[in-house]
Amino acid sequence: MKKLAVAILLALVAVATLVGVGCERDQATQLREESVDSRTAMMARAEALYPMPMTQNFPMRALLVEYTERCDQVNHPWYTYIMSDTGAITHYFVSTTIPVSTNAFLGSTEDVRGNRHGNLILTAPSLDGIYYGGGGSITASNGWIFIDAATGAMGVVYGCNVMTYEAPLILETEPVLITIRANG
Question: Residue 134 to residues 115, 122, 125, 159: CA-CA distances in angstroms?
Answer: 22, 9, 10, 20
Q: Which of 135, 139, 157, 140 is nearest to 148 (CA)?
A: 157
Give the other-Cβ count within 10 Å of 82's Cβ: 19
pLDDT score of 21 more than 60? no
pLDDT score of 1 more than 90? no
Question: Backbone phi, then psi, for 73, in 5-degree steps?
Answer: -80, 135
| pLDDT score, position 112 | 81
| pLDDT score, position 147 | 92
| pLDDT score, position 167 | 92
Most confident among 11-20, 109-118, 163-172 (mean pLDDT): 163-172
pLDDT score of 17 more than 70? no
**pLDDT band at 121, cuts 50/70/90?**
confident
**Residue 167 and residue 73: Cα distance in Å, rounded?**
15
Question: Residue 6 to residues 12, 14, 36, 138: CA-CA distances in angstroms?
Answer: 10, 12, 45, 65
pLDDT score of 80 more than 80? yes
| pLDDT score, position 127 | 67
Spans of all domains in the chain: 1-54, 75-102+140-184, 104-137
Q: Which of 160, 157, 111, 154 is nearest to 134 (CA)?
A: 111
**Residue 40 and residue 44: Cα distance in Å, rounded?**
6
Task: Give 25-83 as a DSSP string.
Answer: HHHHHHHHHHHHHHHHHHHHHHHHHSPPP-----HHHHHHHHHHHHHTSTT--EEEEEE
| pLDDT score, position 57 | 95
pLDDT score of 63 more than 60? yes
Q: Which of 13, 48, 150 is nearest to 92 (CA)?
A: 150
| pLDDT score, position 109 | 72
